[in-house]
Amino acid sequence: MSRLSVSSYFPWCRVKVTRQNVNLEPRSALVHVEPDRRYRPLCHACGNPARTVHSNQRKFIRDLDFGDCVMTLQVEYRKIWCDCCKGVRVEHLEFVDLHQRVTRRLAAYAAELCRRGLSITAVADHLDLDPKTVKAIDKTTLQAEFGTTNYEGLQRLAIDEIALKKGQNDYMTVVLDYDTGRVVWMGSGHGVPTMDEFFSQMPGPVRRRIQAVAIDMWDPYIKAIREWCPQADIVFDLFHVVRAFNLIIDEIRNEEFRKADQKDRDTLKGSKYLFLKNWGNLEGEQRIRLKEIMAMNKRLNILYWLKDLLKHIWGYYRSAWAEKVINQWCSIARQDGHPKLVTFAKRLQRYKYGILSHCKHWMHTSGIEGVNNKIKLIKRIAYGYHDSEYFALKVKQAFPGRVLSN
């Protein structure tokens, strides 16, 4: 007679395996689990032992597959009268959470597969579970680890927004711990109410320790930071400023194209990316053509020179030198006289304080731009997220941050 038993694969206290039924086609097994009468049942709410059994219940629970065999548990459990809770409660079972239809070890395995980058659909297909069940498992696991915002060690922040749906005004704000790369918080929207929601939850001592915040030149962010963290320096990033100026370059280039004669139009045609690229990234023929355009058109020559000078502003360590170059830049733009250049020069002077703050903190938002690119990848894997809370938890999981050495 064989002494082999499957009970060692179910090492749980207060229950015992009584029998098992195995089907060959399809490969599946039903394992019967009953309470061990040697132990008094525990209340799932308070954990205290109960003396009175109210009723006996049964439910079926999916467990980890055994090889290629689908495992299902038929669990007999009890409802009890708890003297501490003064009511009827369900008996505590260590291997399954209340109201769940999968064991904790199956839930942990599903959550680990999701953590490794598999989509909910892929995990559900692999484990033969409903996608809604997999999502609920993963979300519950993430809420336990990332559901509470961790403000520990925050000193410098980077803030940006990400579009959830292309072509729609649907954004989420991303707050990054600049020093560790950890996503601290994500919230729906990208205006003052969103920032108020973040800063209002932040403890006062933490707000007072914030030294600097890197953002783009957007007034709602500026207003919220000045209100909640008035001691923090606002740092404007090179990327956003140059991107805004590139739009002006393209608009003026189109204007010059429309005013040019046919010969000059042929030279200007298709030159958009020549002006957007850095000189060092241009190939030999591209440099020759760009030189021809700049020799032909004085305004476009000034534009390209201003773009190059604009980038150099962020290379200074002393604010006095950086301010001198900003004033020089604005003076040249005003001398040219083009309305768009003059408007941009006024904007640069208006937000000059945030550019000069870069000399002190040497911060930029390239890190958060990299985060945004990976966030888009997370979104594509799942074909989009309809649950913004779950989406934020997935992003926090993907960016736990690095440990700083002392």
Cα–Cα distance, 156 to 5 (Å, whole number): 58
pLDDT value of residue 31: 92
Residue 248: CA count within 13 A, CB half-sphere: 22
Residue 179 phi, psi dihedral angles, 5° rounding = -80, -30
**Tokens matching residue 260:** 């040019």
pLDDT value of residue 142: 94
Residue 197: CB partners within 8 Å, gap ≥ 6? 187
pLDDT value of residue 1: 42
Give the length of the chain. 406
**Residue among 129, 103, 137 nearest 33 (CA):** 103
Place of tokens 């001592």: 205
* Dihedral (Cα; 334, 338, 344, 349), 10-degree rounding: 10
pLDDT value of residue 157: 94
Cis peptide, bond prior to residue 131, ω within 30 of zero:
no
Q: Is the pTM of this model over 0.85?
A: no
**Residue among 308, 287, 289, 301 nearest 245 (CA):** 308
**Residue among 60, 66, 138 nearest 100 (CA):** 60
Residue 98 phi, psi dihedral angles, 5° rounding = -60, 135
**Residue among 355, 376, 373, 368 nearest 242 (CA):** 355
Residue 76 phi, psi dihedral angles, 5° rounding = -95, 125
Alpha helices (H) in 147-183, listed in sequence order: none
Question: What does DSSP say about strands 156-163 and 52-62: parallel, antiparallel, or unpaired?
Answer: unpaired
Positive or negative: CA dihedral 337, 338, 339, 342: negative
CA angle, 206 then 210 then 211, to 5°: 155
**Exposed, middle or buried, 60 (CB in 10 Å: 0-12/13-18/19+)?**
exposed
pLDDT value of residue 3: 61
Positive or negative: CA dihedral 330, 336, 341, 342: positive
Cα–Cα distance, 124 to 243 (Å, whole number): 42
Q: Tally Cβ neighbours within 10 Å of residue 109.
A: 18
Cα–Cα distance, 187 to 393 (Å, whole number): 11
- Under DSSP, is residue 291 helix (H, G, I), strand (E, B) or coil? helix
**Tokens matching residue 117:** 């980058």
CB 357 within 8 A of CB 374: no
In order along its 406 residues, the chain shows pLDDT tens digits of 456 667 788 889 899 999 888 888 888 999 999 999 889 999 999 999 998 999 999 999 999 998 889 999 999 999 999 999 999 999 999 999 988 899 999 999 999 999 988 889 999 999 999 999 999 999 999 999 999 999 999 999 999 888 877 655 678 899 999 999 899 999 988 889 999 999 999 999 999 999 999 998 889 999 999 999 999 999 998 888 888 999 999 999 999 989 888 888 888 888 888 888 888 888 888 888 888 988 889 999 999 999 999 988 988 899 999 999 999 999 999 999 999 999 999 999 999 999 999 999 888 766 677 787 888 888 777 656 678 888 899 999 989 888 665 5
Residue 231: CB partners within 8 Å, gap ≥ 6? 208, 210, 211
**Residue among 117, 114, 172, 101 nearest 141 (CA):** 114
Could you please report the per-residue DSSP string of 335-393? HH--HHHHHHHHHHHHTHHHHHHHHHH---SHHHHHHHHHHHHHHHHTT--S-HHHHHH
Place of tokens 């007034």: 219
**Residue among 344, 325, 324 nearest 334 (CA):** 344
H/E stretch holding 248: helix 238-259
H/E stretch holding 306: helix 298-312
